[in-house]
Structure 1
């Protein structure tokens, strides 16, 4: 897809992967709508923040309405990046944290995606990028709730791409390993460090998928740090 002049929506844009993706899209000339509760430290004529809580369908509906009215056209790119995790043994997981993860990681993705698909099908062009996790392909001790949500993202992605592929619309699910982001602020057992991947690495992967030939479709992309524990000691 040629990104210049296209409308791209990114959720969870305040920092990390979301912010790096916004910056990469702006460099390509896209008109970027950030849907989120917190504005990033970014000033650009083609970046527009629409206050949005993806956990609420009415908030997403309003952000979508404002985006198409103010930016003038259908959404060509949606990056479902907003997400969070809370660690606990399953029997000790609080109900609030369980619902927070599903409301953000799964319901939020559904609320955003369902609104952009009709326009993409009408244009016979569009690309939805869903950020899952390695946790969406396996189980992780004391992360059952988070793993459940990211498995759901995988299932949604695989089902949706089969529904929209004949309309020229792509759906790509990305499964990152550890990335240097604030995700680990609420995970006591792990601290973000320099051996993890950088947010801009994930953004570069997103751009690669978006700019591929119209008949070339990345369905699943798994990415990991090459040396998660650093260089071996000699």
Structure 2
């Protein structure tokens, strides 16, 4: 039997065991949402302001079971934050097999689509809801040696904007938040390429070293969490938000001459002109 709908706004945050997901879930809970976080693996022990539930976003059965369980508990879902994802360490696009490419898309893009499809029927019944997708600055400004991750985040951005147009008249809004470098455990757990080639080794190593240098002084995940809360509460949300450094990157993408931007990227990553 379905419970009486909760008087609190119910938020579901995927990939909430650490990093951006955990910071977002905590910020939403502090703001008065009743938050459920998810993790594919058992979440580490610790005090949280929200409940953690097991979820594999690559599994139809796991996603459907989680959403149905949440609806039995609360009767509604007001906010979905699609954060679960992973990346491949800096590598030439050629250095990842098709299987690895499919795995990245299965989590970063199709997992997001799967979650969205699972919650939309309830949001349509409510005639209200908000979906916030965590993208990346690489979704509007690709960088070399991160081609697969950038491709998934371009897909997330395109899907989000199209879906928002479709759902507005039903009382549902879709937003994509696109941070740049964020100092989180995510960056320390990137998968190595599964088909490495010697021809890319020097450049790959240099890009990875440069990324680690930048991350030392990068914003923490709370910067993204604050923007997610802003997007969740906004009466008329923007389609895309670029927190922190990403805002400056978006400005450069829009206004800087293409040749200047291209040269700047290569210079910053210590790549030959």
- Report deviation, 1:41: 4.1
Q: Aligned runs of 1:83-232 on 2, under 5 Å?
A: 83-86=85-88, 87-185=90-188, 186=190, 189=208, 190-191=211-212, 193-213=215-235, 216-225=236-245
SS of the equivalent of 1:147 reads: helix
1:174-218 Cα offsets, whole Å, 9 max, x none, are: 1111001122222760227342111011100111111122xx121
Q: Is the 8 A contact 1:50 1:67 kept in 2?
A: no
Change (3 A) 1:104 1:169: same
Change (3 A) 1:41 1:225: farther
| TM-score calculated relative to the size of structure 1 | 0.87
| Structure exhibiting the larger radius of gyration computed from Cα positions | 2
State the match for 2:77 in structure 1.
75
- Report deviation, 1:4: 7.2
State the match for 1:10 in structure 2.
13
Question: Comparing 24-33 with 46-55, which one deviates more in the overlay?
Answer: 46-55
**Distance in 2 (alpha carbons) for counterparts of 1:118 and 1:66:** 15
**Distance in 1 (alpha carbons) for counterparts of 2:24 and 2:45:** 14
Please identify which structure carries the higher helix content: 2
- Report deviation, 1:138: 2.4
What is the RMSD computed on CA atoms of the aligned residues?
2.2
- Spell out structure 1 runs of 4+ moving beyond 4 A: none
Change (3 A) 1:41 1:212: farther
**Distance in 1 (alpha carbons) for counterparts of 2:220 and 2:171:** 31
State how many pairs are aligned: 222
Q: Is the 8 A contact 1:4 1:28 kept in 2?
A: no
| TM-score calculated relative to the size of structure 2 | 0.75
**Distance in 1 (alpha carbons) for counterparts of 2:67 and 2:46:** 21
Aligned: 1:25 with 2:47: no
Gaps of 5+ in 1: 229-234
Please identify which structure carries the higher strand content: 1
**Distance in 2 (alpha carbons) for counterparts of 1:122 and 1:155:** 25
**Distance in 2 (alpha carbons) for counterparts of 1:62 and 1:170:** 24
